Amino acid sequence: MFMWFFYLFAFLFFLPLPTFAVDIISERLSIYGYSAFNFCISTKNKIGLGLPYECQSKGGSFAQALFASFFEFEPFEKARFLSEIEMKYVPELEIFGKIEAKKNQDKYEVEYDDKGAGKVLVEGFGEIDIAFAFFEYRFIDLLVFRAGKYLNPFGLYLEKRDAVPVYLFALLPSIYRKLPDIGTLIPLYNHGIQLRGELPFLGYVVQVANGRGSVANAIDRNADKAIGAHIFARVPGGKLTGSMIGGDFYTDKDFDNKRQTTFGGFALLSISEVGPGHLQLLGEMAYTRIAEVKAVAGYGLLGYSLTIQSFALTPYFITDGFAKIKAKVTNSIGGGLAFDYNTLRIKTQVLNVREKNGDSSIVFAFGIALAF
């Protein structure tokens, strides 16, 4: 008889535990994300501004489609895990051909063929990957420890690169793209550790990480480690709320053991109550050196936002360019329009690109982004 009472007690005691566990997880787990869809068309089949694959076509392309989910879990107070899973169409695997290694090297390169590949390695229409995943512990606001794979802290937008609805522009400026004969000024992601902190009027990040390697920055094949710093000061209140100024430093060695060092600076002036809306003036500049190659890149943007209840309309003007030191500049000038409704952003952009050889072309881009 005693055993029956024991089993009954155990059953009644453990029965609510799964529900209790679900409640605890649901309280500590947040799921959110965004989706993006772009179209781009140009008057030339090849443009030297480092524009995305879909822009390198007179016929235009809807090649960029992305769905991303963020999973944020807080196991206990002051700690969190954050990861992003991306599902995206990858034209370089589907259209542009076979991924091969250079002769006598392990480094992967992409062979482009806009008429179709002789051999396609992936028969799907994209890929699913973990864009980043890291653990973070907040001792105080001015001292936060982060470890894992994360977006590199650089400039105004690199850590916000995956928050597409944040962008006014449909095409990222050259400072954030892979540039012809130069490459990227800084890796988009890194594997390592950070110390960071933030107050209403200032913030900083310092990091030690793998840096570039044979496969992006996931595998570091040299003994060198990347070192980076990101600092900024901002206005916490008043008519200039959100205005900021800051700088960056980053250095590492690539797969070929060549050191790349990049210095950057950025500024944002945001003025509210300018007529019925608010004015934004922002710009970024970066200098990079890879072995004996030196280059600069930068852009400036002027925009005016008019907000009525849940709607916002922002026309803007942008100029962008890059060049090797003592070489001719590849630049663009243009404008765009961003329309917002709650978390939906629809954006258009037109650029007149002038290359270093004097050739020019027109690029038009259209994008839709939705945060959820």
Q: What is the pLDDT of residue 215?
A: 54
Task: Look at residue 71 and tell me whether its pLDDT is greater than 70.
Answer: yes
How do residues 272-328 score in pLDDT, each as one tens digit?
A: 988 888 999 999 999 999 888 889 999 999 999 998 888 999 999 999 988 887 777
* H helix intervals, 152-221: none
Q: Give the pLDDT mean for 91-95.
A: 48
The amino acid occupying position 166 is: V
CA angle in degrees (0–180, nearest 5) for 220-225-227 = 135
**Domain map (residue ranges) of the chain:** 28-89+126-371
Task: Look at residue 22 and tell me whether its pLDDT is greater than 70.
Answer: no
Say which residue the tokens 């489609």 belong to: 65
How do residues 226-241 score in pLDDT, each as one tens digit?
A: 999 999 999 998 999 9
192 and 226 Cβ atoms separated by less than 8 Å: yes
Task: Look at residue 249 and tell me whether its pLDDT is greater than 90.
Answer: yes
Say which residue the tokens 């480092």 belong to: 50
Of 101-105, 182-186, 249-253, 363-367, least confident by mean pLDDT is 101-105
Of 13-17, 156-160, 190-194, least confident by mean pLDDT is 13-17
Query: What pTM does this model have?
Result: 0.81
Q: Which fold has domain 28-89+126-371?
A: Porin (2.40.160)
Distance between CA 320 and CA 177 in Å, rounded? 12
348 and 26 Cβ atoms separated by less than 8 Å: no
Q: Give the pLDDT mean for 127-154.
A: 93
Say which residue the tokens 């807080």 belong to: 74
